[in-house]
Amino acid sequence: MCFDEENFEYDPNFCYVETISNNSDCLSNCNTFDYYKTKEKNLVLITPYIDPKNFNNEEFEIYLIDIKSKEIINKLKGHKERILSLKIFKNEKTKNEYLISVDTGNIIILWDIQNKFNKIFQKHINYYEPYTFIYSTLIIFAEKNTWIVASSIIEKNKTLIIEQNKDDHFIEITESENIPVYCLCYWFNEDAEEEKDVHNIIQCGKHTILITKFPSNKTYLKIKTEEKYMYNSGGLVFKAQNKDMLAVSSCSGLILIIDLINKNIVKKIEIENVHIFSFIKWNENYLLVNDMRNRQIIILDIKKEYKIVSKNFIPEMEFDAFMKKIMHPIYGESILTSGKNFKIKLLMLKGVLATSDDEY
């Protein structure tokens, strides 16, 4: 277990780190990865491959690595340029999972995980300006179709929605204000019967957060911040005390917790000299935030109005960006995190919650 939730003991000496992508041919671009569980309940890491000696490969592959054995079990081929991002999305009705990957040539590929990673969609998005690339993607599973949402990080950004069955048909979110989008989030209000066919697209970029209803494309919430902060880091939609919440961050040290139902900011946290990138909801009590600059995990107590209850320095977290919570077959609850030197690490921590009443 990562956290001793019974005693809440702080033990700074307990930190076990294991490198998953430690083979010479298992290198990731370390700014994106994901994982899935097989029918045999094995955990598989999905990560782009980069040859450090040659960035001009004729083909860029996605490696599937067994997290327990660290063996490469499959290589997905299809991208001709460097893979910038990949992410798994799950259709909650059918329970099928899909991998979406994007390369620097703005080629989007959709892979069917249950069907041996068969490519079911591939599209070159040439709607953007030259020398720009897609940075964030989403998949919306509607009643009769699947939609792919794509945004880029340029000053005159257009967030596009692509219908999978009509790959030449684009919908542009017209009220996106042309902001560069660094993070896309999805929210569905399952408690509102009148919104059973409404999908909410959250765009986080530059100094603005926009929430748009799809398919109406009506932007109904806009949150701006001062120019010293940019929403160019992580975003997380989560449940807290039966409320739908959104956590967004700026690499410059701002965290906003937003009530999606009441459409208001419930907590604003400003932390100096940090570089915040991503969130994990660990359990009903805690949100975990990684601070890349200071190599630490910051823990927010959900039930205490998101008070910072601990900052835990972890030397092995050098330059880490993304984090994923997993249930490791041997170690239990653990964190997958990306690190320097193109490596992906498994972090097993215990006692990272402090009992001190010190104010942070």
Number of Cβ atoms within 10 Å of the Cβ of 292: 18
Structure-block tokens of residue 123: 């599209």
268-273 long-range contacts, Cβ below 8 Å, gap at least 24?
Answer: 269/300, 269/306, 269/308, 271/298, 271/308
pLDDT at 350: 55
Kindly report, residue by residue over 299-354, the tens digit of the pLDDT.
899 999 999 988 877 776 665 667 888 888 777 778 888 766 667 777 766 544 43
pLDDT > 70: percent of the chain: 81
Q: Name which residue leads in pLDDT, 168 or 161.
A: 161
- State the average pLDDT for the chain: 81
pLDDT at 5: 38
Kindly report, residue by residue over 61-110, the tens digit of the pLDDT.
898 988 888 888 999 999 988 888 899 999 988 999 999 999 888 899 99
What's this model's pTM, rounded to 2 decimal places? 0.87
Give the span between the Cα atoms of 341 and 31, in whole angstroms.
11
Domain 1-20+234-360, CATH = 2.130.10.10
Give Cα separations from 105 to 126, 166, 259, 342 (angstroms): 9, 21, 37, 21
pLDDT at 168: 63
Q: Name which residue leads in pLDDT, 41 or 261.
A: 261
What b/e string do you get for 108-139 counting C-beta neighbours within 10 Å, with b at 16 or more?
bbbbebeeebeeebebebeebeeebbbbbbbb
Q: Which of the four pLDDT bands, split at 50, 70 and 90, describes residue 268?
A: very high
* pLDDT of 4 above 50: no
Kindly report, residue by residue over 23-69, the tens digit of the pLDDT.
544 444 445 789 999 988 889 988 887 665 655 656 788 989 888 88
Check: CB of residue 12 under 8 Å from CB of residue 349.
no
